[in-house]
Each structure stands twice: as structure tokens, then as C-alpha cells.
Amino acid sequence: MTRAFGFFLCFVATSAAQIGEKELRQPLSDNWYEYNGTYDSRRHSELKQVNTGNVRSLVPSWIFHVPNASRLQSVPVVANGIMYVTQENEIYALDARTGRQIWDYHRVPAYQRAPNRGVAIWGDKVYFTTTDNYLVALNAVTGNVIWESKFAEYKDGYCSPAAPLIVKGKVIVGVAFGDRGLNGILDALDATTGEILWTLHTIPRPGEPGNETWSGDSWKAAGGDTWLTGSYDPELNLLADRQSVPRLQW
Amino acid sequence: MGTYRLTIRLLCWATMFCFAVLAQVAKPRNPLGNGIEVVSQGHDLYNKSCTACHGRDGTQGDRAPALGAARRYFRLSDAAIFYAIKNGIPGSAMPASGLPDDDIWRVVAYIRNIRSTASDNDVPGNVQNGMEIYQGKGKCASCHMIRGQGGLIGPDLSSIGAQLTLAQLRDALTKAIPPQEGYIPVEVTSRAGQVIKGVAKNEDPFSIDLLDLSGKLHLFTKEELRSVVHQPESLMPHNLDKTLSPTEFQDLIAMLSRQARTKIRREQQGENEVGR
């Protein structure tokens, strides 16, 4: 029996339910595919099961205790019945019906502390950023690490708390750095390979449009963290990203 | 004469200062080496000095974790373990040991010894050929993944050289070993009569998560199923020493022993840098 099992196994290609452009654009149903729910960031579910008539009688269906949780800022992302919950350098994939853990990922060693706000999902992978600024792509079903790609230097003071945003096969990631005298970046990485495709400097560097509005060297440590997940308009092909107020550091 | 003495004294101070700075800057590897005698001395020291909290011989103690069992380690290099013993671990119950440095190095050698895995050996064989066997004749990649390439039904092997000892690695390819949790072969039949084969990623009395042979995950409650039949034997073939030639088998072992993400992290922590 086992031999027949093994034989069968060698000739079957792997496939899993894929998350694509269509899923990310459709209104929310029983999935929550991205940090803000939908590209337009309405964060509104159209499910009708919970309503003003029964909200008072809600009871917990299940509870999952995130181990050693200290500051949970993660938005649970749900796709194909799996719920992905994160905290810094950790992902927990849960059976959304029972709350039971399917797999977990821990990044060791975890350099520096910072919150994490969740995963993005595309194709058969989930993506999340670490406190040392790696974008990690994992198989959504098993948690196998497919690749990891570094986009900023933690030793300079950068971390990456925002959930990534998927736009047309690109993973958009940002950075945060508290009150350190640094400048923000917004990066797009190839969702298949992890290659950095472009970088936007939120405070324009010399030669970039707008730099002339900064006197002298004041642009060098002006802030502009990209610390939250943006929104995307597929009709206009326009990415709207929020960033912290530029401020001079001293 | 007085000037001469002062110069000598200043030189001595300068030399000591340099050594002190170097000791802080350099990330050392074990200056005593990892020979049998050093490991044996470290073993004795460990069982005398560390077992108030950690268990004897690297096992778990009442107040502190096992240092030699199969688990995630946070301190991987000689240097990282040395500093933890010497200085303690801030924010934990681990105190500074107070042992002389050479004794600490002996304990480090012992801890590294009980954690020794296949990747700590320089296994002979053609690694490139081993990878070709892995992907081709050995059919390993149809079920296992290395650095994002390969199948999902078996365990990821990207760091297998740092997880198993050399003997365990050979056994995994040549002996029938019961399937580990998360990889137990199972065949379920739904109420509608549909039969699905795969491995149970999770199971309890009320539900089962089944990864089928095509890589799709099914989340079943038991009441949705007519039957759940477990296979006692792992899907892993255990005759690779017979289906491969001795050279091919050795090349495969050599390649697998070098799959060690942990080793990369050890190097990030200062492994193999010279100094003391």
C-alpha cells in the first residue's frame, strides 16, 4: 500500500488555491485577503450573519493564544479557510473554523523589537516583513520558506512593521524608524523572485523632484516613515500610501 | 632609569589595553578546540556547575531549558554561547557563571558537542552531483523542498544538515522510520464517498487538516467524514542505498549534510572568526 502511495506521489503536480488579481479586487465575502480588507481600504465586511439584532448575543467561538504576545497589532488575513496572524518575526497559520494552528514560522535570531501588522497573500504564498527588514515569502499551506529578500538595514535604525500590499504581482513594503534621523523609503519587490524593482524616497534626494524645496542638507534626516499599509486604485493604477509627517531631526 | 621604567610600564598598559579592546571586538571561536579531552572536561564542569537549573547531560532542568535536545537554539556560535555563560542573559534567570574563561570554553565545547549535527562534519562526496541525484534519480524533490524549490508533502530540507546527525541522515534514507507528526499518511472518505489521500498536518478527535498529494489543504471536521484511515509507514522510501550506487548515495549524503541555514546564522554570530 505504501509503495503504491509513493508511486502515485511522484507523478502528481502540486497545486493549491491561488490568490490573484481577481480575488484582491472582489468585494469581501468570507475571506479577508489583505490588511485593509480591500484595495480601497474600506475595512467593511458585507457579511450579514452578525447584525444589530444579534450582536448582543455574540459568544467566542474559539480563542488562540499567540505565544508570548506583548503588543499585538496584527490584522488577521483569511484566505481559503486559513487565518494568518502575526507578531514580530512570527506567523501563525490557523484553521479559521477551529482556531487550531496549522503551521508557524519564527525568525531566529530576531534582531531588535518592533510591532508587526500582518501578512499579504498572492498566488500560493504569504508575505511578511521582519524587524530586520527582510521580506519573507512562505508557502501559504505549509509555511515552507520560499525566499527572503533584504530591503533595508536594521543597523541604520530601520524596521518594517507594516503589512505588505500586493499590486499587480509586486509586493509593496515600507519602513519605520521612530524618531531617528532617517528618511523613509517605499520599495516594490517582485512577488515571484524577491528582486527589488523600484525604490521611492519619501524625502526626495538631490536630483529628484521636490528636493529643491528643502534648504541645504535639511532633506538628509527629515522623516517620512512608510509605517502603514497603503491603498490601491486598479482603475487609475494609482497607489496611495500614507507616510509620517516629515520633520527635521536634531 | 625612571623614564625607562615609565616607558616599560606605559607599554605594558598599552598592550593590556589593546588585548582588552581586541577581546571585546573580536568574536572568538573556541581557543581550546573541540577535542575529546576538552569535551570530556566540559561535560564534567557542566554537570557540576550548570545542573542547578539545567538538567544533567544537556537535558531539561527544573528551571532552565535543555541545551542538547532537538529544539530551536538562539545561541549558535561558540562566541554567543561563551558570552551567555560568562555574562548571563539579561532579562532571564540565567546568571553570569563566574567560571574562569578556560572552563567556560570547555563547557562551550561540550554544549556544541551534544548539539553536533551532520553539517559539523566535512562529509566527503560530490555535492553538485548529490544535488543532481536529489532532483533526478533519487526523486527527492518531488516531495521535499530545498530553498523554495521542490514538493510540499515531505519536510523542508533547507536546513536538514543542521537538524540531524550524520547517522540520523543515513538512517532516514535507509531505514523504515515511523512518520513524524505532520507527515502521517492518511486516507479519508467523505460522507459523499470521495476518497482523499495525503498527510495529516494536524489532527484531534474533532477535526483533521489534510494536505493531499496535489498540495491542496483540506480542513475537515470529523463529522464530515465517513472514515479516517492512518498508514503506519512513512511515505519516505528507505531503500536509497539500494536504488543508488554507493558513490551516488555518498554524494547525496554529502549534499544533504551541507544544507544548513543554521550554519549561515552561526557565521552571522561570529563563527570562524579568529581571536580570543
- pLDDT, tens only, A16-47: 568 888 888 877 778 899 999 989 888 888 88
pLDDT digits (tens, 9 = 90+) for B189-217: 999 999 999 999 989 999 999 999 998 99
Cα separations (Å) of B34 from A45, B90, B120, B147, B163? 61, 28, 11, 31, 20
Average pLDDT over residues A146-157: 92
pLDDT given for residue B15 in this prediction: 61
Whole-number average pLDDT of chain A = 87
Note the pLDDT of residue A70: 78
**Rounded to whole angstroms, how far apart are CA atoms A96 and A139?**
17
**What type of residue is B102?**
D
CB B70 within 8 A of CB B114: no
Residue A2's pLDDT is 40
Q: Where are the beta strands (DSSP E) in A12-81?
A: 77-79
Q: What pLDDT does B115 receive?
A: 81
Q: Domain B127-177+236-259, what architecture? A: Orthogonal Bundle (1.10)
The CA distances from residue B55 to B47, B51, B52, in Å, are 8, 5, 8
Mean pLDDT over residues A61-76, rounded? Answer: 90
Mean pLDDT of A129-148: 95
> Which of chain A's residues have a Cβ under 8 Å away from the Cβ of B215?
14-16, 141
Among A189-198, B51-60, B96-105, B220-229, the range scoring the smallest mean pLDDT is: B51-60
Closest alpha carbon within chain B to A103: B201
Residue of B nearest to A13 (CA): B214
pLDDT of residue A186: 96
B197 has a chain A CB within 8 A of its CB: yes
Chain B closest-CA separation from residue A111 CA (Å):
11
> What is chain A's percent helix, strand, coil content, to nearest 5?
10, 30, 60
Give me the mean pLDDT over the A91-115 stretch. Answer: 86
| Terminal Cα distance for chain A, rounded | 71
How far is the C-alpha of B177 from the C-alpha of B240, rounded, in Å? Answer: 14
Can you name the CATH fold of B184-230?
SH3 type barrels. (2.30.30)
Question: Is residue A54 predicted with pLDDT exceeding 90?
Answer: yes
pLDDT score recorded for residue B23: 44
Residue A244 confidence (pLDDT): 85
Flag whether pLDDT at A4 surpasses 50.
Answer: no
Q: For residues A56 and A41, what is the distance between their CA atoms, to the nearest angstrom? A: 27
pLDDT of residue B265 exceeding 60, the answer is no
Report whether pLDDT(B159) > 50.
yes
Q: Provide the pLDDT confidence category of residue B69 given band limits of 50, 70 and 90.
A: low
Q: How much is the pLDDT for B2?
A: 57
The answer to whether the B24-117 and B127-177+236-259 domains have the same CATH topology is yes
* Local confidence band at B72 (pLDDT 50, 70, 90 cut-offs): low
What's the pLDDT score for residue B269? 52
CA distance linking residue A140 with residue A117, whole number of Å? 17
A193/B contact by beta carbon, under 8 A:
no
Which range is least confidently modeled, A191-195, A224-228, B81-85, B111-115? B111-115
Q: What does CATH list as the number for B24-117?
A: 1.10.760.10
Residues of B within 8 A of A16 (CB-CB) are 215-217
From chain B, pick out residues whose CB is under 8 angstroms from the CB of A5: 185, 197, 231, 235
Q: Mean pLDDT highest for which of A48-52, B6-10, B68-72?
A: A48-52
The answer, for B86 touching chain A at a CB cutoff of 8 Å, is no
* 8 A C-beta contact, residue A84 and residue A76: yes
Give the C-alpha separation, A177 to B21, whole Å.
Answer: 31
Q: What's the pTM value of the predicted model, to 2 decimals?
A: 0.78
The pLDDT, as a whole number, for residue B3 is 64
The percent of residues above 90 in pLDDT, for chain B, comes to 55
Query: Binning pLDDT at 50, 70 and 90, where does residue A117 land?
Result: very high
Give the helix ranges, DSSP H, for chain B.
Answer: 2-25, 36-49, 78-87, 101-114, 127-135, 166-174, 240-243, 246-257, 261-268
- Asked if A81 lies within 8 A of B219 by C-beta distance, the reply is yes
Average per-residue pLDDT for chain B: 85
Q: Using a CB–CB cutoff of 8 Å, tell me whether B265 touches chain A.
A: yes
**What is the pLDDT averaged over residues B251-276?**
66
Tell me if B231 and A101 make a contact (CB, 8 A cut-off). no
Residue A98 forms contact with B (CB below 8 Å)? yes
- Across the range B17-39, mean pLDDT stands at 66
- Pick from B139, B202, B233: which is nearest to A100 by CB? B202
Mean pLDDT of B33-56: 89
Q: What value does the mean pLDDT take over residues B57-86?
A: 80
Q: Where are the domains of chain B?
A: 24-117, 127-177+236-259, 184-230
Assess whether pLDDT exceeds 80 at residue B5. Answer: no
Q: What is the pLDDT of residue B266?
A: 54
List the single residue in B with minimal CA-CA distance to A194: B148
Q: Which of residues 228-247 of B touch A (CB under 8 A)?
A: 231, 233-235, 237
Partner A contacted by B201 (CB < 8 A): yes
> With pLDDT > 70 as the criterion, what percentage of chain A qualifies?
90
Interval B86-92 mean pLDDT: 86
| pLDDT higher than 90, residue A112 | no
Domains and CATH numbers, chain A: 19-40+70-240 (2.40.128.630)
Smallest Cα distance from A163 to chain B, Å? 22
- The yes-or-no verdict on residue A250 having pLDDT over 60 is no
User: Quick one: average pLDDT of B148-171?
Assistant: 91
C-alpha cell at A171: 509586493
Q: Of the candidates A67, A207, A240, A88, which has an alpha carbon nearest to the alpha carbon of residue A154? A: A88
Q: What is the pLDDT of residue B71?
A: 59
Task: Inform me whether the C-beta atom of residue A8 falls under 8 Å from chain B C-beta atoms.
Answer: yes
Residue B67 has pLDDT above 50, yes or no: yes
Asked if B213 lies within 8 A of A9 by C-beta distance, the reply is yes
Helices (H), B146-245: 166-174, 240-243
> Average pLDDT in the B35-60 region?
89
Chain B residues with CB-CB distance to A81 below 8 A: 217, 219
B262 Cα to chain A: minimum distance (Å):
9
Three-state secondary structure along B98-161?
A: CCCHHHHHHHHHHHHHHCCCHHHCCCCCCHHHHHHHHHCCCCHHHCCEECCEECCCCCCCCCHH
Cα separations (Å) of B3 from A245, B7, B12, B14, B17?
Answer: 62, 6, 14, 16, 21
Judged by a CB distance cut-off of 8 A, whether residue B267 touches chain A is: no
Residue A52 pLDDT level (bands cut at 50, 70, 90): very high
Contact B217 A1 (CB under 8 A): no
What is the average per-residue pLDDT within A205-222? 90
Task: Tell me the C-alpha distance between B50 and A76, whole Å.
Answer: 42
pLDDT-above-90 percentage for chain A: 64
Checking if the pLDDT of A203 tops 80, the result is yes
A-chain CB neighbours of B217 within 8 Å are 16, 80-82, 102, 141
